[in-house]
């Protein structure tokens, strides 16, 4: 439990103290996930319920809300939750740890996890995936995007010239795909790509509950 509290405090403070700087850095982040978003939304019913997990200041939630979807966003950083509420009044935002999701079962048609799972220790990812299965409808879809790379240790994030001890974990594509499969999902789509001329190797995966 102490490790959980330490993690919560570290991530929340790292983002919270520089929340505006992170907002500026990720202002157009949704654009390089356009391909993935289109694939993700192809399977969504009209007025689908979408969980934006690790919603940050609400940039993706805003896109979904404008398209007419019912959006719930969760994030561990209170400053981001406050920004998201102001940015997207039509959505619901809750301060919450994705490792301990407390939301009704079988609720969401889609779960969007854009550059937030990378802050979760790899040993905790199976629990997070099981949490997703609990709150997702049997016909739902999950999209995960994060940093791709061979490093197994925590990496210190340096965002927009601000050096903060912000825990980030890279994933090898095949390793993450296997963890996803081992925890109840079938992979429908997986894409390795790069941003900023190769400076940021990235990975996106869309999955559905196995057997559905």
Q: pLDDT tens digits for 72-106?
A: 999 998 989 999 999 999 999 999 999 999 999 99
For the entire predicted model, the pTM comes to 0.84
Percent of the chain with pLDDT over 90: 64
Residue 102, CA distances (Å) to 58, 74, 116 in order: 20, 10, 18
What is the model's pLDDT at position 23?
55
Residue 201, CA distances (Å) to 100, 127, 145, 196, 212 in order: 29, 25, 11, 9, 31
What is the model's pLDDT at position 154?
61
Percent of the chain with pLDDT over 70: 75
Overall average pLDDT of the 52-69 stretch: 96
Position with higher pLDDT, 99 vs 10: 99
pLDDT mean across residues, the chain:
84
pLDDT band at 194 (very low <50, low <70, confident <90, very high): confident
Superfamily of the domain at 2-209: Vaccinia Virus protein VP39 (3.40.50.150)
The pLDDT of residue 114 is above 70: yes
Residue 114, CA distances (Å) to 37, 58, 105, 129, 139 in order: 10, 11, 21, 14, 20
Q: Where exactly are the structural domains of the chain?
A: 2-209
To the nearest 10°, report the CA torsion of 139, 180, 205, 44: 10
The pLDDT of residue 147 is above 80: yes
The pLDDT of residue 165 is above 60: no
């Amino acid at each position: 439990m102490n490790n959980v509290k330490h993690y919560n405090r570290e991530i929340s403070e790292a983002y919270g103290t520089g929340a505006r700087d992170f907002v500026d850095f990720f202002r157009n982040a949704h654009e390089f996930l356009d391909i993935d978003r289109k694939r993700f939304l192809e399977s969504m019913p009209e007025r689908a319920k979408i969980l934006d997990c690790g919603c940050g200041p609400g940039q993706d939630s805003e896109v979904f809300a404008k398209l007419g979807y019912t959006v719930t966003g969760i994030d561990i950083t209170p400053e981001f939750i406050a920004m998201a509420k102001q940015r997207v009044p039509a959505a619901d935002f809750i301060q919450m740890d994705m490792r301990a999701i407390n939301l009704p079962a079988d609720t969401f048609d889609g779960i969007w996890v854009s550059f937030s799972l990378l802050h979760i220790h790899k040993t905790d990812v199976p629990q997070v995936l099981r949490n997703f299965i609990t709150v997702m409808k049997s016909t739902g879809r999950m999209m995960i995007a994060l940093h791709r790379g061979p490093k197994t240790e925590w990496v210190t994030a340096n965002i927009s010239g601000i050096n903060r001890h912000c825990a980030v974990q890279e994933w090898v594509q095949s390793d993450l795909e296997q963890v996803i499969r081992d925890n109840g999902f079938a992979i429908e789509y997986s894409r390795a790509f790069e941003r900023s001329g190769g400076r940021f190797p990235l990975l996106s995966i869309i999955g559905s509950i196995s057997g559905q």
